[in-house]
Amino acid sequence: MKWIQAGVMAGLFAGALGLLPAVSWAGAAKTQHPVVFAHGMGGFDDLLGYDYWGNDFGMFVGEACESRFEVNCNSDLDPGQLAFVAQVAAFQSSEVRGLDLADDIEGFMATAGVSKVSIIGHSQGGIDARKAARVLRERRGVTSVVVLASVSSPHRGSPVAKYILDQRPGVTSVIAALARYYGNSVYEPGNDAYAAAKQLVYNDYSPTDGVITGMKVFNEKYPVSSQYAERYVSLITAQHGVNVNPALYLLKEYLFDIDGNGYCVGDGDKDGAAGCGDGVRNEADDDGMVGINSQQMGRRLRYHDAVFGFDSVTEDASIPALTDLNAPSRLQSTSMSSVVPQDHLDVVGVGPDLFDEPEFYAALIHYISVHD
């Protein structure tokens, strides 16, 4: 586990000596409650050899600078910002990972002496966070998550998960397929690659195995509800063509254009994700792993990458908040409004690319500070 609190004393001391102002120089305001980062499938300390939640050089995006002269820290954060990186099994169902995440958060809350947190979850981490929020509510008797933000999360499934499961014969091929993408971490103790893949298919992939899985039933059990989190928000990503990280080819014969901005009720085209393709594959309607018709949860956020000054994250008022995760409207499924033009891996530090991960997350943390 990684717990990082910027040391404000160093900044105050330097300010007292006249070396720098004893005020924050950051673009993002400090959140009232700590921010927990929840990683996606295949994540832990790293993903494909890159630091998860880092920039291209391994700097944790939630680590604030103690002084103006410190390096390898996020200067866009307030020096007093408190952030925590949770770590759960790299390959497991969100039933298991969500419980582990709740345990991690509860331990952190006790150690830090805080009563609430906000959560930023990438990919499956944004799904795990919904179970964790409910578990924390049931254990503590109060709503313990302020803002629950998902980034690139397959709330209504991913065609890539079904593609992996459709490999034959059975579990051996599923694990081999994931290992080709994520490396040998798939074989570590505690992992269940088959359960992980079945989690991210919309409908129950194996209806005769006696266990009901998939995002449809998970969404019913862990809904968008003010009982569990005070505010649900999501950032949607999509990228196209040569701009998609080569790792997202996954397997040589798989194409990353998954036609992910069509509308229908349920998984109408049986590709593993709710919604149907619109018949136009050659467009930026997915991020190489997840279609845009699967990513909205709660309010849709808009990321503005400023050429000059600090980036910003605001709510997209043109798209209504999605509260019933299994029943998005046509607009919520097909609109490319506010889609962040990055692939599934760019937003957590897998490079090389020109995406400014530290400022992106600082802008999201600033948004959280306004609402916590």
Distances (CA, A) of 331 to 275, 292, 294: 12, 11, 12
- pLDDT at residue 138 tops 90: yes
* Strand 299-304 versus strand 229-235 pairing type: parallel
- Among candidates 271, 283, 251, 322, which has minimal Cα distance to 157? 271
- Among candidates 224, 255, 229, 240, which has minimal Cα distance to 332? 224
- pLDDT at residue 185 tops 60: yes
pLDDT band (50, 70, 90) for residue 33: very high
What's the pLDDT tens digit per position in 358-369? 999 999 999 999
- Which of 6-20, 101-115, 158-172, 357-371 is predicted with the least confidence, judged by mean pLDDT? 6-20
- pLDDT at residue 233 tops 90: yes
- pLDDT at residue 3 tops 50: no
Looking at the chain, the whole-number percentage of residues with pLDDT higher than 70 is 86
349, two tokens: 């530090």
pLDDT confidence of residue 50: 74
206, two tokens: 């194996």
For the chain, the average pLDDT equals 87
- The predicted model gives 61-74 an average pLDDT of 87
pLDDT top residue among 60 and 251: 60
SS3 content of the chain, % helix, strand, coil (to 5): 30, 15, 55
Single pTM value for the model: 0.90
pLDDT confidence of residue 7: 36
Give burial (CB, 10 Å; 0-12/13-18/19+) of 317: exposed
Helix (H) or strand (E) holding 125: helix 124-140
